[in-house]
Structure 1
Amino acid sequence: MTGYFIQAFIYLCAAVIAVPLAKRFGLGSVLGYLIAGVVIGPVVGLVGDETLDIQHFAEFGVVMMLFLVGLELEPRMLWDMRHRLLGLGGLQVALSTAIVMGVAMFFGTAWTVALAIGLIFSLSSTAIVLQTFNEKGLSRTEGGRNAFSVLLFQDIAVIPMLALIPLLALPELVSQSQQVVAEAAGHHEELSLVAGLPGWAYAMVIIAAIAAVVVGGHFLSRPLFRFVAESGVREIFTATALMLVIGIAALMSLVGLSPALGTFLAGVVLANSEFRHELESNIEPFKGLLLGLFFITVGAGIDFSVLVDNIGMVLGITLAVMVAKALVLFVLALIFRVKGSDRYLLTLSLAQAGEFGFVLLSYSVQNHVLPQDIAQVLALVVAISMFLTPGLFILFDKVILPRFEEQANEREADKIDETGSVIIAGIGRFGQIVNRLLVANGVKTVVLDHEAGQIENMRSIRIKSYFGDATRPDLLHTAGIEEAKLLVVAIDEQERAVELVEYVKHTYPHVRILARAYDRGHHYSLRCAGADFIISETYHSALTLGTQALKDLGVHPFRAEQLRETFIETETRSKEVLYKAWKENTEDSKFNATYRELFMQLEDALSDVMKADRHDKHASSERGWTPPPKGYLDAVAEMQQELDEAKPSSQ
């Protein structure tokens, strides 16, 4: 028993140390687990022969992962993505498999082995790519969306691959395995519901098993989960989720199908269930730990003697696979009209082999498709290609992306053929609202933005805008800055926004500047540069939501509005004090300890003011949001007319 505790401690300690370090250096959690396994296995030798047994147990994490993948695949979402999913993703898997298979057969490999190798190398690393996209903010780019479609198809394609691989078994490997098993001590037969059945009966059992998963998941799961949820015991719901996954995996194994196939199918069936998110939250920790353990065992099982003996072949295969996949992806990007840097993002991000490659390798060895020596070499190829993936993203960030940005900047600015009383610099989500409000009220605006894609989007919805950098003096002159009354600065880049405000205020002091600030520091910088009016982009929306929260908590609507106005007044006064403190501080320590202490004091003062009861009097700002009495405007007009008539007589 002590030995198990020690082994568990070693595996967990390696994961706790290696994974955070790998993520900090931008390598991703999967590579962190692999590195941890390499260190505790081949390098230090803390773990040994038991890794194979642990790997069989940890493979259940793959089953759980496919269940979660199925939960995310709502039929409607798949239908909306059908063109990129089936077209781009399907062609990538098919062409990559065909090319790798063809090369392997050219070197004399049996077609079944070559096909298995092609399937393994056609997959990319979902974990590394999606995590890197999220960290670098690339998920919403065109290249990121297309890469996600390919990865999603690959994850789905794993299911038929797992079903196909047992059919590729080599007879000589099967006979060797049977001989070894027969000679092994303690040999026992695995449970099976289809052993010895004729073909027609075997087919009927499989159909019945799949129907049981689909029908049971659709009709029986909801009453079961509702019954368990009403108990209010969270761990029982977790037990129910595990029972569901383990039960389906056992059923698929009993009928001779892949457990991953059954759990994936169950996940798709439950994708529209109201308990989907609860299932995800309960299964996710087990999936993460078991998958992490699986990758650690893969790293621990790497035979460095194989790498040393075959270093040239391993590196050659790795580079050949990555180049072949990159060429396939680049050609498909051209066919599907992926443009600019997005084309290279799609190409480089998916050029590696993926974590499912380890799963298919292990599965292929178990089903006598690949010899152990070939599987060891292929595992090294998969691992090295994944290790090289961060380098591909660095190549994209440092070399490819700057070139396309330079080309975009070198594009000549549009010829501005009209002027307006308001110039709007930046037509993102903030600038769009300002522009729509002004245009709807008959105000003539000139919109400038240096993002070509954003300009095209605006023109597609009939919002006239011009491509160009608003910080360029010549472009401002063409836009009519001399005659303009207002300049609205809604540029995302904080430094460029401050530079624009400073230039315009110095050169055209008559132009009133209204600016959008990203945060408090940016607000102060814009004010220091001379902006006349500054608003933080989330200030009013957060204030409105906070006021609504008070109302929902039972505060009277008038009192809530009163508290809102009190907050604004106090915030305005404290903003002046904080701005002076910020301005007096040195450039290197604008938000120093003195500033923070003053901020906390003002927060305490704000809390005291908000507690005060002011039912006896109301500020003018509080009366300002109530409508004026009837006839108010007519009375003001008559008073103004009397004043105008009285002016000549007084002179």
Structure 2
Amino acid sequence: MPGPCPPAARPGHRPPTPDKTTTNAGIPSGYSSLRERGETGWRCYAPRARAFPPTYHLAPAFPFGFSPVKEPPMGHDTALIEILTLLTAAIAAATVFTRLRLGPILGYLVAGVILGPSGAGVITEPELVAQVGHFGVVFLLFLIGIELKPSRLWVMRRLVFGLGTAQVGLTGAVLGGLAFVALPVAWEGALVVGLGLALSSTAFSLQIMAERNQLASHWGRAAFSVLLLQDLAVVPLLALVPLLAHSAAAMPAGEIVGAIARTIAVVGGVIVGGRVILGPLLKLVAANQSAEVFTGFALLLVLGVGWLMETVGLSMALGAFLAGLLLADSEYRHQVELDLQPFRGLLLGLFFMSVGMELDLGALLRTLPLVGAILAGVLAIKALMLGALGRLWGLDRAEAARLGLVLAQAGEFGFVLFAFAIAQGLFSPSLGATLVSVIALSMACTPLLALAGDLLAPRLKTPVPVPALTPDDTAAAPVLIAGFGRVGETVARFLVHVGVPCRAIDLNPDNVQRGRRDGLKVYYGDASRPEILRALGADSARLLVITLDTAAVAERTVQSARRHFPHLPVHVRARDRATSAHLLGLGAALAVPETLESSLRLGAEAAKAGAANPEDVTKLLRDLRQNNYRGLVQELDPLA
């Protein structure tokens, strides 16, 4: 928060006396920015008081030049109006952009630009929104950590320390070299520019992959590994800046070693302490049988471990991820996850809006050619290098393209790193303003880049070999199953139990191996490709059952099957009634919505327990299914 400049923000430094000769270029070392306050004096944003590494509070409006500080603080009515405005804008933006199939993130960004200082100026303190919104990233990392067991993380070590390190080092070197050639900056500043732009946005990338259910995919795990390594690189990068600047703030070697030792001690202490005391503590809290107490403890755990990580210079988000890992094997993980889920969504929306507020449209228009050139170069270089590295680490062409595109943007840590570099005199505030615009615009491009990856991936897909049928497989199979996950495996085992031959196909090698190990006829391949279905016997089959998780892939498979095998009835799994109706419109003979089927089963059992006539219950179930559940849905929801 802003306050009067301290007389000595760090040893040996005296803030300059504010007079008419002070200019943008005169921002003192050790401060993120100076801000003019009319004729009454000056205020500055000073670093937090801790030894290592100094974390700088960014000025709320970019570029890094002067802008008026508004005082006094806003009153109760103004604060309430701003909260209502933020909520209204967030809901409207998410709704409109989701309907446009662009995703809510881009909507939050646009809303932030409109409400921010360079737009309508409705939000008077965007830095407060940014500080609150940062906790959305913290909760996102916690919930990801809670889904990732430590044993699985150990399996990913090759991707984290191999692919992740190569990405940061090589991409940073290339971008730094280009910055040294093309920008007015010395090699030290160019290196910081390159490394800062090499980092990607954890919040944007993970949220987009989570929305598309892509985190569990091969390339999704690779992307997560790269982002995790980038978070681990925070401490070295912050320590590198003052060393490059050759300033009085450069830390002695002994102090750097001490900081690393403190980091290891705190991380080790959290892991050991969490293993020893977290289980009994959770058991004690759960014994109260109070939802409020349990939720409060979950919040304390996330924020407390995050704060501990911040004290040694690691990011709070990384601390939250570590807290999630500690709970990954706990019997309480599901309750904690459910309690914190609402906080994540709301706060992430605020974070994305705060990024939009950081954009200074006036400065952007003045430097648009330079910003556009840097933006295009960063996106292209990062996408190509990430794609190439992905291929070296075993991804196919389609997966490598998705990886490169979804991580091509610059990250939120660049805001902090570049402000610190300006304070150390590594490059000018005007260049810093340009780089901040590049970061924000690259984040805004992320949903579009992810969409481009979805469109490009099918064209780059490595040809899948047609499954070879063994002599024992040549007998006709009347039922083909596309997808051998939980639903597909259940269908296959049901058919085998009643003596109906079937063949299944899946793109997950683990699913294929599991099925074949149990004696089922499961093959590796893409069910949306007609030649694969033909090799499995689609020409003579009586039914195709599609049980795929991803709605887009299921839709594509229905269309392909109806186009190439019009005689073959298609039964498909649907998530809800709206999806079911859409799939029926594409030609499916039956589309079974999961939510309604489970509701019908529960309703039927409840009716029997309530002494309803079993024949009436059975007849109602049969009629509802024959009429695609229409009667029940319309009675419950007239708008359905």
TM band (smaller chain)? 0.5 to 0.7
Name the amino acid aligned to 1:487: R
Q: 1:137 to 1:272 in 2, by over 3 A?
A: closer
Q: Which residue of 2 aligns with 1:376?
A: 433
Q: Which residue of 1 aligns with 2:218?
A: 145
The CA deviation at 1:199 is 8.6
Name the amino acid aligned to 1:227: L
Name the amino acid aligned to 1:224: L
Q: Which residue of 2 aligns with 1:388?
A: 445
Q: Is the 8 A contact 2:530 2:560 kept in 1?
A: no
2:231 paired with 1:158: yes
The CA deviation at 1:39 is 0.7
Q: Which residue of 2 aligns with 1:303?
A: 360
| The one of 165, 174, 179 aligned to 1:104 | 179
1:590-640 residue CA offsets vs partner (Å, 9 max, x unmatched)? x9xxx6489869xxxxxxxxxxxxxxxxxxxxxxxxxxxxxxxxxxxxxxx
Name the amino acid aligned to 2:107: G
CA distance in 2, matches of 1:58, 1:439: 52
2:95 paired with 1:20: yes
3-state secondary structure, aligned to 1:22: helix
Q: 1:274 to 1:105 in 2, by over 3 A?
A: farther
| The one of 392, 401, 417 aligned to 1:344 | 401
- Across the two proteins, how many residue pairs are aligned to each other? 537
Q: 1:48 to 1:371 in 2, by over 3 A?
A: farther
The CA deviation at 1:168 is 1.2
1:272-301 residue CA offsets vs partner (Å, 9 max, x unmatched)? 344444444444544544444344333223
Q: 1:425 to 1:85 in 2, by over 3 A?
A: same
The CA deviation at 1:75 is 1.3
3-state secondary structure, aligned to 2:395: coil
The CA deviation at 1:497 is 5.5
Name the amino acid aligned to 2:79: Y
Q: 1:153 to 1:567 in 2, by over 3 A?
A: same
CA distance in 2, matches of 1:537, 1:7: 41
Q: Which residue of 1 aligns with 2:297?
A: 240
1:101-141 residue CA offsets vs partner (Å, 9 max, x unmatched)? 2222344634443333233322334444444445556556x
Q: Is the 8 A contact 2:214 2:220 kept in 1?
A: no
2:189 paired with 1:116: no
Matches within 5 A, 1:246-645: 246-248=303-305, 259=316, 262-358=319-415, 360-361=417-418, 371-398=428-455, 400-401=456-457, 403=459, 420-426=475-481, 428-429=483-484, 463=521, 487-490=542-545, 493-494=557-558, 503=567, 516=571, 518=573, 563=614, 567-568=617-618, 571-572=621-622, 578=627, 596=631
Q: Is the 8 A contact 2:109 2:355 kept in 1?
A: yes
Question: Any unmatched runs of 5+ in structure 1?
Answer: 178-193, 505-513, 580-590, 602-651
CA distance in 1, matches of 2:290, 2:536: 68
Name the amino acid aligned to 1:99: V
Q: Which residue of 1 aligns with 2:15?
A: none
Name the amino acid aligned to 2:241: L
3-state secondary structure, aligned to 1:44: coil
CA distance in 1, matches of 2:373, 2:422: 23
CA distance in 1, matches of 2:362, 2:156: 45
| The one of 169, 178, 191 aligned to 2:242 | 169
Higher helix fraction (1 or 2): 1
TM-score (norm 2): 0.65
CA distance in 1, matches of 2:468, 2:262: 68
The CA deviation at 1:65 is 4.7
Name the amino acid aligned to 2:231: V
Q: Is the 8 A contact 1:58 1:291 kept in 2?
A: yes
Q: 1:323 to 1:232 in 2, by over 3 A?
A: same
CA distance in 2, matches of 1:235, 1:17: 30
2:107 paired with 1:32: yes
Name the amino acid aligned to 2:544: V
Name the amino acid aligned to 2:542: L
3-state secondary structure, aligned to 1:351: coil
CA distance in 2, matches of 1:124, 1:466: 34
Q: 1:569 to 1:146 in 2, by over 3 A?
A: same
CA distance in 1, matches of 2:340, 2:361: 35
Q: Is the 8 A contact 1:354 1:386 kept in 2?
A: yes
Deviating more after overlay: 379-388 vs 224-233: 224-233
The CA deviation at 1:470 is 11
CA distance in 2, matches of 1:545, 1:597: 13
TM-score (norm 1): 0.64
Name the amino acid aligned to 1:74: K
Q: Which residue of 1 aligns with 2:60?
A: none
Q: Is the 8 A contact 1:96 1:122 kept in 2?
A: yes
1:549-579 residue CA offsets vs partner (Å, 9 max, x unmatched)? 77xx9969xx99x94x764455446767x49
Q: Is the 8 A contact 1:147 1:349 kept in 2?
A: no
Name the amino acid aligned to 2:163: L
Q: Is the 8 A contact 1:490 1:497 kept in 2?
A: no
* Percent of aligned pairs sharing the same letter: 30
CA distance in 1, matches of 2:294, 2:491: 49
Q: 1:199 to 1:95 in 2, by over 3 A?
A: closer
Q: 1:17 to 1:349 in 2, by over 3 A?
A: same
CA distance in 2, matches of 1:416, 1:290: 55
Name the amino acid aligned to 1:146: W
The CA deviation at 1:314 is 0.8
Q: Is the 8 A contact 1:36 1:299 kept in 2?
A: yes
CA distance in 2, matches of 1:213, 1:72: 19
Deviating more after overlay: 43-52 vs 15-24: 43-52
Greater C-alpha Rg: 1
Aligned CA-pair RMSD: 5.5
Q: 1:414 to 1:136 in 2, by over 3 A?
A: same
1:320-367 residue CA offsets vs partner (Å, 9 max, x unmatched)? 111111221222233234335333323323222244444555666678
CA distance in 2, matches of 1:157, 1:342: 20
Q: 1:44 to 1:325 in 2, by over 3 A?
A: closer
Name the amino acid aligned to 1:97: G
CA distance in 2, matches of 1:263, 1:478: 47
Q: 1:342 to 1:38 in 2, by over 3 A?
A: same
The CA deviation at 1:165 is 1.0
Name the amino acid aligned to 2:446: T
The CA deviation at 1:97 is 1.8
Q: Which residue of 1 aligns with 2:16?
A: none
Q: 1:275 to 1:155 in 2, by over 3 A?
A: same
CA distance in 2, matches of 1:250, 1:500: 58
